[in-house]
Each structure stands twice: as structure tokens, then as C-alpha cells.
């Protein structure tokens, strides 16, 4: 047996090209993530990752060691109940921590057996995973003044640059920032500039049903993959489908099996976006993909602001799911750097190759981990649900207090 001996958690902050705006606030020029390392009694080291960081996250992860010390990394189902017992989780939700530990255990298993993680999960059906360009409205970088995306022209220029660099053939716009009419103008401009490419819009549940119907009808004739989370909740998403003939998608209201069952009965959402941290690991996502296949629902791989460790889990997931019907999301191209050996993974023709080395196929660059851990200690976290350019503002659902598309600002991001 290969038993867990030690668990370490390290919060890091990695800079972005520019601050990313969304309906709930903004990413303040950086991503904050927690790296998790699991050491075993026979000398293996497995890697995991989840969103957020800080002393509480570190203490929570490392505080699981008394539950898991001596646990065999191959006993993943037993570990799931040790960490995420469904009744205990009502009081102490550890889903993302479980995901990071599952990643690390799978990494160890692959290393010990000499095979990539995808071979432990049914074997690959594809060697590379296609990604969409993830387009955000952005504040300019506070140091250089560059990178702003606010107007249709700026959005199109950003999309063209990303397509030229990475080869993307589909484009996702993160909306819910400006008035829906302005975002409709931006989306139509993008469609005109990218003939033949597919599009998707994600306002993060910020719109009223009326706004979502108007926007959806305004884009029905375009080459849309799906309409992602325009309104909040299954009842409104179900109602929206009566008025707009575009597949709906979600990563917010179907993130566990109870919600998946409810959606199968209610038919509110057509495409389920599977996130390896939100669902608690790669294996739950594969199970969910099987349920979706049974009920005729589409699936895609969701992004939650990953560094290279979680990106590797997304690639192994994408390698083994046969009914993956859409290109994956990834915030990854917004990062200036990564914490893995060799730096950022490369896109080729809009795809990233699934790692072939044993385990997850990535290793930590210790110098970069130390550098970005120190940057985290310097800058700390940031309130995800606040916009530094709009002091005093906070998000409502549905939102009517939109940012002004004509007002450029350069807020302090500290």
C-alpha cells in the first residue's frame, strides 16, 4: 500500500495580463490559488490545486491530515466519505479540498504505476483538448496602461490577437458587466469579425429574464455554441428556453448530482459545464458525464481560474470523456506565468496536448512557487465579489446597476 504521510498547502498569487471584469466584481490583476502536495510513506509526491488561499485555506487542508494519515491513496471512494460525507458536508463543505487531494492521489497512483492519470480513468479517446478563447472585459494594466477591453473594437482586437497566437476557433465572452445592449453590440461585432468560428456568452446569472430573452433573440441567428447562465436558477433557465432557441449551459446551478437529477427532470439546462474542483475531482466529473450521456445532455470542461496543476486535471478529464461536445473553457491564456516546470503549457491550433508522463504529468517549479507565494504574502487575497473601479458597488441578482461603457478608469488593485 501507498499511504499518505504528509499534506502541505501553499497559497500563491500569479499575475494576469490585465484585471478581468465579471458580473460579480473582478479578478484584481491576479489569480489566487492554493497548491496542495501529498507525500506518501514510500516517497511519492502528488499535486493538487484549488481556488482561493490564505491562512484559513492552508489550515483547513493541512488540518485534514489527522483524518487521512496512513490512508492508502488507491482507496479514493473511502477518502471521499472521510472528507465529504454527504450529511456532514451540510455543515462543513470540503468539496474543493477533496478535489485537490483526489488530484494528488491520482497523481501518485499514476507515478507508482508508470501511467498518465487518464489511463487510470478509462484511457484516452483524444490526445489533445480543444479550448475556446475566454474573452473578458478588462481594466487596463495599472503598470503599463495596456490591455483594456471595453468597446466592441477592443474586444475584436483582443480576440484576433488570441486567435493569431493560439489558434482558437471558438470564443466565449464573459458578460454581465455593461448594459446588455452594449454587450450585444460587442458580441455581434465579434461574430462579424470571426466568420465560421463559434461563440458563447456568459453573463454569470446577472440578467433579468426579460434582458436574457432580448439578448438571446438578438443573437439567435449567429453561430452560437450555447447561452451560459444568463439568468439565475433552474426555474428561470427553464422559462428562458421557451423564448430563445439557443442551448442553455451552466456551471452554477448544476454542480452536484442532486442538481443534475433535478435538471434531468426539469430540463432547464442543455449543456453541463464540468469543473474538476467544483464537482470535487476528476472522477465525479466523469460520473456526471456518464449521467449526461444517458439523459441526452451535452457536456464541456469548465474553467475556474486554474494554474498548470488544475489545467492538467482538465486535460485528463477531456481526454477520457467520449461525449465532450464543445471546446473547453480556460482562463489560462490570461496568466503571465505559471508555477509548473517548463512554464505555461502551449496551445497548438487552439488545443493543448494531454500530458503523457506518469501521473498528472506536471511538476512544480520550486523557485516560482516561492516567488508567487511571497507575492501572495505581499498582496494578500482580493474580494472576488467587488469591483475596484466602482467603490461601494455590490452585485445584485438580477443586476440593473451596470458599469458605464463610456467611462474608462484605472483603479488601484492593491
Cα separation, 106 vs 213, whole angstroms: 43
Could you tell me the three cell numbers for 342? 517548463
How far apart, in whole angstroms, are the C-alpha atoms of residue 211 and residue 179?
9
Helix or strand run (H / E) with residue 118:
helix 117-120
- Local confidence band at 283 (pLDDT 50, 70, 90 cut-offs): very high
Task: State the Cα torsion 100-269-227-407 to the nearest 10°.
Answer: -70
Q: How far apart, in whole angstroms, are the C-alpha atoms of residue 196 and residue 326?
A: 15
> Cα torsion for 164, 125, 328, 312, to the nearest 10°?
-90
Give CA–CA dist 378/20, Å, rounded: 20
Across the chain, what does the average pLDDT equal?
95
**For residue 89, what pLDDT is reported?**
58
pLDDT of the residue at 413: 63
Active-site annotation holds for 302: yes
Mean per-residue pLDDT, 271-281: 97
pLDDT tens digits, 360-391: 999 999 999 999 999 999 999 999 999 999 99
- Is pLDDT of 412 > 70? no
Compute the average pLDDT of residues 313-320: 98
Exposure on the CB side of residue 84, measured as CA atoms within 13 A: 21
248-250/351-353 β-pairing: unpaired
395 to 54, 185, 398, 401: CA distances (angstroms): 24, 23, 8, 8
Name the pLDDT band for 410 (thresholds 50, 70, 90): low
Mean pLDDT within 184-193: 98
pLDDT in the model for residue 1:
92
Lowest mean pLDDT of 89-103, 230-244, 259-273, 358-372, name the range: 89-103
Query: What's the pLDDT score for residue 354?
Result: 98
- φ/ψ of 363, rounded to 5, equals -130, 155
pLDDT band of residue 88 (cuts 50, 70, 90) is low
* Element holding 173 (H helix, E strand): strand 170-174
166 assigned to active site: no
Q: Which of 22, 27, 166, 302 is catalytic?
A: 302
- Say what the pLDDT of residue 121 is: 98
% residues pLDDT > 70 (the chain): 97
Using a pLDDT cut of 90, give the percent of the chain over it. Answer: 92
pLDDT higher than threshold 80 for residue 240: yes
pLDDT for the residue numbered 93? 77
The cell for 141 is 494594466
Q: What is the pLDDT of residue 144?
A: 87
Distances (CA, A) of 123 to 76, 108, 115, 127, 260: 18, 17, 10, 10, 25
Residue 6 grid cell: 504528509
- Minimum mean pLDDT among 22-26, 82-86, 236-240, 347-351: which range? 82-86
Q: What ranges in 139-281 are assigned the alpha helix state H?
A: 152-166, 180-193, 209-219, 234-240, 257-266
365's grid cell: 517549479
Residue 407 confidence class, pLDDT cut points 50, 70, 90: confident
- Average pLDDT rounded to a whole number, residues 229-243: 97
Mean pLDDT of 68-92: 86
Non-local CB neighbours of 176 within 8 Å, separated by 6+ positions: 22, 23, 24, 183, 202, 203, 204, 205, 206, 207, 399
All residues at 6 or more sequence positions from 189 whose CB lies less than 8 Å from its CB, including other chains: 152, 153, 155, 156
Catalytic hit among 112, 166, 174, 182 = 174
411 vs 393, which has greater pLDDT?
393
Q: What is the mean pLDDT of residues 310-326?
A: 98
Q: What is the band of 197 on the pLDDT scale with cuts at 50, 70, 90?
A: very high
Amino acid at each position: 500500500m501507498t499511504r499518505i504521510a504528509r499534506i502541505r498547502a501553499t497559497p500563491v498569487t500569479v499575475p494576469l495580463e490585465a484585471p478581468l471584469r465579471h458580473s460579480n466584481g473582478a479578478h484584481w490583476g491576479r489569480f489566487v490559488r492554493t497548491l496542495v502536495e501529498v507525500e506518501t510513506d514510500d516517497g511519492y509526491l502528488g499535486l493538487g490545486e484549488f481556488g482561493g488561499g490564505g491562512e484559513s485555506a492552508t489550515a483547513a487542508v493541512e488540518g485534514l491530515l489527522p483524518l487521512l494519515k496512513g490512508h492508502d491513496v488507491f482507496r479514493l471512494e473511502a477518502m471521499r466519505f472521510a472528507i465529504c460525507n454527504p450529511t456532514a458536508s451540510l455543515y462543513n463543505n470540503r468539496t474543493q479540498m477533496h478535489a485537490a487531494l483526489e488530484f494528488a492521489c491520482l497523481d501518485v497512483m499514476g507515478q507508482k504505476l508508470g501511467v498518465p492519470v487518464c489511463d487510470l480513468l478509462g484511457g484516452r479517446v483524444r490526445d489533445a483538448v480543444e479550448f475556446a478563447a475566454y474573452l473578458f472585459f478588462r481594466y487596463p494594466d495599472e503598470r503599463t496602461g495596456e490591455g483594456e477591453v471595453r468597446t466592441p473594437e477592443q474586444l475584436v482586437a483582443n480576440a484576433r490577437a488570441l486567435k493569431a497566437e493560439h489558434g482558437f476557433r471558438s470564443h466565449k465572452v464573459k458578460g454581465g458587466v455593461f448594459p446588455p445592449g452594449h454587450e450585444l453590440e460587442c458580441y455581434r461585432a465579434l461574430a462579424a469579425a470571426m466568420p465560421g468560428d463559434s461563440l458563447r456568452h456568459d453573463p454569470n446569472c446577472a440578467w433579468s429574464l426579460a434582458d436574457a430573452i432580448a439578448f438571446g433573440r438578438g443573437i439567435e441567428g449567429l453561430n452560437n455554441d450555447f447561452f451560459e447562465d444568463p439568468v439565475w436558477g433552474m426555474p428561470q433557465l427553464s422559462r428562458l428556453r421557451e423564448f430563445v432557441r439557443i442551448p442553455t449551459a451552466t456551471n452554477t446551478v448544476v454542480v452536484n448530482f442532486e442538481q443534475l437529477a433535478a435538471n434531468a427532470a426539469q430540463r432547464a439546462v442543455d449543456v453541463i459545464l464540468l469543473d474538476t474542483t467544483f464537482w470535487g475531482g476528476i472522477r465525479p466529473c466523469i460520473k456526471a458525464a456518464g449521467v449526461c450521456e444517458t439523459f441526452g445532455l451535452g457536456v464541456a470542461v469548465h474553467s475556474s481560474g486554474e494554474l498548470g496543476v488544475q489545467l492538467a486535471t482538465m486535460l485528463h478529464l477531456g481526454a477520457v470523456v467520449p461525449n465532450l461536445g464543445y471546446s473547453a473553457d480556460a482562463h489560462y491564456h490570461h496568466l503571465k506565468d505559471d508555477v509548473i516546470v517548463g512554464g505555461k503549457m502551449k496551445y497548438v491550433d487552439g488545443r493543448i496536448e494531454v500530458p503523457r508522463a506518469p501521473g498528472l504529468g506536471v511538476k512544480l517549479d520550486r523557485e516560482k512557487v516561492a516567488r508567487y507565494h511571497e507575492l501572495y504574502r505581499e498582496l494578500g487575497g482580493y474580494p472576488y465579489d467587488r469591483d475596484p473601479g466602482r467603490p461601494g458597488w455590490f452585485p445584485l441578482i438580477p443586476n440593473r446597476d451596470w458599469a458605464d461603457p463610456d467611462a474608462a478608469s484605472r483603479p488601484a488593485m492593491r
